[in-house]
Structure 1
Amino acid sequence: MLYPVPLRHSLICLSLCLLSACADQQANQQNTAASATPAPSTAATASKPSNADVAPAQSFAQWLAQFRQQALDAGIQPAIFDQAFAGVSPDEAVVKADNSQPEFTRPVWEYLDGAISAARVRRGQAMLNEHATTLAAIEQAYGVDRQALVAIWGMESSFGQFTGDKSVIRSLASLAYEGRRPAFAQTQLLAALQILQHGDVPSSQLLGSWAGAMGQTQFIPSTYNHYAVDFDGDGRRNIWTSPADALASAANYLRSSGWQQGQPWGVEVTLPESFDYALADADIRKPLNEWRALGVKNLPPDFAQARASLLLPAGYRGPAFLVLDNFRAILKYNNSTSYALAVGLLSERLLNGGQVLAKWPRDDLPLSRAQRIVLQEQLSSKGFNPGGVDGIIGANSRKAIRSYQQSLGWPADGYPNQALLQKLISTL
């Protein structure tokens, strides 16, 4: 049978991906620091397609002149702007990092192996003791549990050891000039100039990651402007070198995101046989007592009316969790379920808990980006709308997967794996 050209191209790419999956998976087995995560953001942004080979339509000098006028119109003082941009030129390393998309996404169990390493747990426990007085005061002021703050601190910067050494102004200017999300980068660049104008930090010390995330809690500039606090009382909001300011700022952000003091982030649970896995949807929230009535076991005795969602991070073959408000607050800090799960488990591990009892399906090979695109294309061709073909398995793609799984009579857990992909392409 002769397939349409786009489909033939996808299938050729898929065949190559399947042949090289084992080799690529081996390259993917790197337990890198889990601190390399997106910074908290207060606004959703849209990305434009990456095309590193297309030159910008105007020179950097032309772009800078236009942006200078916009910044001045927004209230930035000319002297502040000119000092911040003195000698600034595009950083090609930043643009390259922005345009680099990993071919494979690490499975959640590999991510957790790196995030909750024994060394990180020991260091976090030492930080709990060393900063006990400060953490107690922050907990009292903001109602955020100290172990959660220390877990985020460890995830974001390895407890202040790795905060980034790139000029935030130069990085964001590079991204605003020729990055994938210029409007978002320009908004953050303006926020960074407001930080300088406020006087919290000189431009020489306004340092962060290539993406512009700053300090020990890796705030982006707009998040800093809204939520950073001066907790040590020195007159400056210093999330770079003051653990008190950094931790209190994170607590302020989490409180604003709905953190409930003393409530668990979630709990590992056991599901009954013949359970309806389609209930594993972040949009479905039921009180814990309703989950109990459905046969879910190992629920905490308290918080019966707390509303929880069922999370199956590795599908029905892996561990199951009921997650509550605090999990959702962590997601607002970083919208990744793997990240939020790591923070939750690490916070418990710091208190000698947090052991996952169920086994992870470590025999599952992750789908490459090309394979995820083919999966989305095939779901769409069969009438199951994944919401776009971009290789990102988001909420819409999971809903489409659930619907397709239900049509097959499979457990509808919304989890994309090699077996699902093979079934999709075998029915062409």
Structure 2
Amino acid sequence: MPGRAEGGKRRARLIATIAAFLALHLPAHAATKADVEAQFRQWLANDLWPEAKQAGISSAAFKAAFADVKLDWDLPDLAPPGFPKAKERKQSQAEFSSPGSYFSEKRLQGLAATGRSLASAHASTLKRIERTYGVPGQVVLAIWGRESGFGRAKIPHPIMDVLATKAFMSTRPELFRRELIAALNILQSGDVKEAEMRGSWAGAMGQPQFLPSSFLKYAVDFDGDGRRDIWNSVPDSLASIANYLSEKGWQGGRDWGFEVSIPGSVSCAQEGPDLARPIADWAGMGITRVSGKAFPAAERSASGMMLVPAGTHGPGFVVTPNFYVIKEYNNSDLYALFIGNLADRIAAGGGPFRGEWGDVGKMLRSDVLGMQKALVAIGYDVGKVDGLPGYKTRRSLGDWQAKNGLAPTCFPAPSLKAKLR
């Protein structure tokens, strides 16, 4: 029948069109792991080796380093060539739900107890470290405990497998390519054998969890054996942490900060390291320590900054520049507060923060991003427009709330989404 014949022609044309589209837009065949492994070996020889050679790596060192290296297909954030692009995962960070969960009291108590014991066991080493670098032993111990459980945590991954895999086929290849070249320099220097060079899935190595580039800059030989060994040597590990903080600007003789009570007359929008003022000035505004103690006399004339990481929904702090030095280790307010609190517990048996962490709304990153864009559109500086509620976003939000007849909370909340467009 004519209708059936015409329909058949249309179907044939449609099939031909689809086939042509697929031929143009899809690879001739789906890549297999064997294909990718072969590409990896070619990449090592033709792409990475010239750069490594230019960086001073010998041919013998290069060949030895990669002799047994394998792609680790179980690592996160991979983008193998020829494979379908992975779906983006939802962002989940403590700042967006309950910051209180970050400060597990059971974990902090356990780390503090172990830290106090190790402070006694390594007292002479820690005293020598503080004399050399100006960083208190309790701060060094707190970072050691947080990063690797005082060197007791299992560090599972051969670091060359991790870095080579991520340099070749991760979502951030350039970052890991630089770290891979740095790792080759470490191996060539003889500080560690490749079999002992282990780290995390993200490429952080040893007890201090240094990336290779940080190792080259900050690792030290503190036990005098001629090697910088952050995998097996406690003195080297502790001194390397202290050297890192010292090089980042640690101010000897100063605290990291103080938990405080902030009166309602002081706006949370005054937060931020760029709004520093003498601690005596903060005290003059009615800000007091929750412990009931006065601010130390040596601190009163020095600079301090307001910190409200959950806005008015959580504890408040006046922090010193040393707080931001700790953030150089891990750029998170909560991380730096964890280290500060743990250090205080190790030194003086302190407890949890007095202020309670409230429910800050379980905001999605996309929601925060929308608020940031709206604030930028009306002239606010929110810092990076990335969906992360940093201090510039928090204080901008607080200022906007005050100017629009709302009580400043300085933190994103679902109730503000409709108001801030």
Number of the residue aligned with 1:29: none
Tell me how far apart the structure 2 counterparts of residues 259 and 334 of structure 1 sit (CA, whole Å): 15
Question: Which stretch shifts more, 68-77 or 291-300?
Answer: 291-300
CA contact (8 A) 1:116 1:342 kept: no
**How big is each residue's C-alpha offset from its partner over 1:125-184, in whole Å with a ceiling of 9 and x where there is no partner?**
111111112112212222210011110110000000125221111111111112222211
> 1:334–1:340: 8 Å Cα contact kept in structure 2?
yes
Q: 2:224 aligns with which of 226, 233, 240?
A: 233
CA–CA separation in structure 1 for the residues paired with 2:384 and 2:335? 24
Deviations 1:51-82 (A, max 9, x none): xxxx99x9323332211111011100111111
* Corresponding position of 1:26: none
CA drift at 1:414: 3.1
**TM-score (structure 1 length as normaliser):** 0.79
1:138/1:251 contact within 8 Å kept? yes
Quick check: 1:369 aligned with 2:369? no
C-alpha separation in 1, matches of 2:398 and 2:117: 44
Q: Which one of 70, 80, 85 corresponds to residue 89 of structure 1?
A: 70
Q: C-alpha displacement at 1:422, in angstroms?
A: 2.2
* C-alpha separation in 2, matches of 1:105 and 1:390: 13
Q: Secondary structure at the match of 1:90?
A: coil
Determine helix, strand or coil for the equivalent of 1:278. Answer: helix
TM-score, normalised to structure 2, is: 0.80
Output aligned runs, 1:71-86, within 5 Å. Answer: 71-86=52-67
Q: Which amino acid aligns with 2:47?
A: Q
User: 99-108 or 115-124, which moves further after superposition?
Assistant: 99-108
Q: Distance in 2 between matches of 1:185 and 1:265?
A: 32
Moved more, 234-243 or 302-311: 302-311
Alignment: residue pair count:
370
Query: What secondary structure does 1:302 align onto?
Result: helix
- Asked if 2 retains the 8 angstrom alpha-carbon contact of 1:312 and 1:318, the reply is yes
- CA-based RMSD: 2.6
Residue 122 of structure 1 and its aligned partner are, at CA, apart by 1.1
Equivalent residue for 2:257, pick from 255, 260, 266: 266
What's the counterpart of residue 287 of structure 1? 278
Q: Percent identity?
A: 38
SS at match of 2:387: coil
Aligned-pair CA distance for 1:355: 3.2
Match of 1:104 among 89, 92, 102: 92
Measure the CA separation in 2 of the matches of 1:410 and 1:282: 25
Q: Secondary structure at the match of 1:309?
A: strand
Cα distance change of structure 1 residues 426 and 414 upon mapping to structure 2, 3 Å threshold: closer
Match of 1:50 in 2: none
Q: Which residue in 2 is equivalent to 1:59?
A: 39
Q: 1:389 to 1:297 in 2, by over 3 A?
A: closer
Amino acid at match of 1:405: Q
Number of the residue aligned with 1:405: 401
Distance 1:199 1:102, change over 3 A: farther
> Retained in 1: the 8 A contact 2:374–2:420?
no
Corresponding letter in the other structure for 2:72:
D
Query: Quick one: which of 242, 246, 252 aligns to 1:251?
Result: 242
Cα shift readout 1:318-342 (whole Å, capped 9, x = no counterpart): 2111110221211111111111101
For 1:198, the aligned partner's letter is S
Segments of 5+ residues of structure 2 without an aligned counterpart are 1-34, 80-85, 290-294
Deviations 1:397-423, CA, capped at 9 Å, x for gaps:
33542343233233445322x3xx322
- Residue matched to 1:343: 339
